[in-house]
């Protein structure tokens, strides 16, 4: 009896659409209920829930189908490991319209070339991302983490402290921040308060 076709699809970001891959797998004979997917996970990440489920669904005589090799793996070692696992279990791998034959020297060569290209493309993407971040940082567009308090909220916090309406602990609870954030805001405003560490020491001494 002919084995089943198990499909796997992956996109690197949650905003990307899997429709094209699903349609491609359907055209290759994979039933919709046998398609396993991963959203927002790169091919360089081996631990992927959808991939794990797809591999677990495969039985001897079945075929794991992907539209392109880079959907399955983005590194040569991972691609080889997956193929070795499938081969050991008697599961075929179909890349688009071609079924990979690990016993054929030419087939192995083509597979390795495809895996190397996928790895190279992944390296290029990482390099471009680093370059883009460096350019944005140089242009002042990347300034670290967003402040916990907006200028307006920080001004209100300082005003409540200066008028004696709230102490640092009350302010921390009111604004939903840590006391260290409150102390820093008050110090920036020149409100004459101790550091968080100094306040803790003073509090302990008072007790």
The set of catalytic residues is 12
Q: Which residues partner with 95 through β-bridges?
A: 66, 98
List, edge to edge, every strand of the sheet that includes 5-11. 35-39, 5-11, 63-66, 92-95, 98-100
Q: CB count, 10 Å around CB of 28?
A: 17
CA distances from 201 to 5, 195, 196, 206 (A): 67, 10, 9, 9
Q: Let me know: does 175 contact 157? Beta carbons within 8 Å.
A: yes
Query: Distance between terminal CA atoms of the chain?
Result: 81
Cα 26 from chain centroid (whole Å): 27
In sign, the C-alpha dihedral spanning 56, 57, 60, 66 is: negative
- C-beta of residue 70 within 8 angstroms of C-beta of residue 12: no
């Amino acid at each position: 009896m002919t084995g089943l076709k198990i499909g796997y699809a992956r996109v690197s970001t949650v905003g990307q659409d899997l429709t094209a891959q699903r349609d491609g797998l359907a055209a290759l004979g994979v039933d919709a209920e046998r398609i396993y997917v991963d959203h927002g996970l790169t091919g360089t990440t081996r631990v992927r829930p959808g991939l794990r489920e797809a591999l677990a669904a495969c039985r001897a005589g079945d075929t794991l189908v992907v539209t392109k090799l880079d959907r399955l793996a983005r590194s040569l070692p991972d691609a080889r490991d997956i193929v070795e696992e499938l081969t050991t279990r008697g599961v075929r791998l179909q890349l688009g319209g071609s079924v990979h034959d690990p016993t054929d020297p030419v087939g192995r060569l083509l597979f390795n070339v495809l895996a190397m290209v996928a790895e190279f493309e992944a390296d290029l993407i990482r390099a471009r991302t680093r370059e883009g971040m460096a350019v944005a940082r140089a242009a002042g567009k990347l300034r670290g983490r967003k402040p916990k308090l907006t200028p307006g909220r920080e001004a209100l916090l300082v005003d409540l402290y200066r008028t004696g309406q709230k102490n640092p602990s009350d302010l921390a609870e009111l604004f939903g921040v840590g006391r260290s954030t409150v102390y820093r805001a008050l110090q920036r405003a020149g409100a004459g308060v101790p550091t968080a560490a100094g306040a803790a020491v003073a509090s302990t001494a008072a007790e």
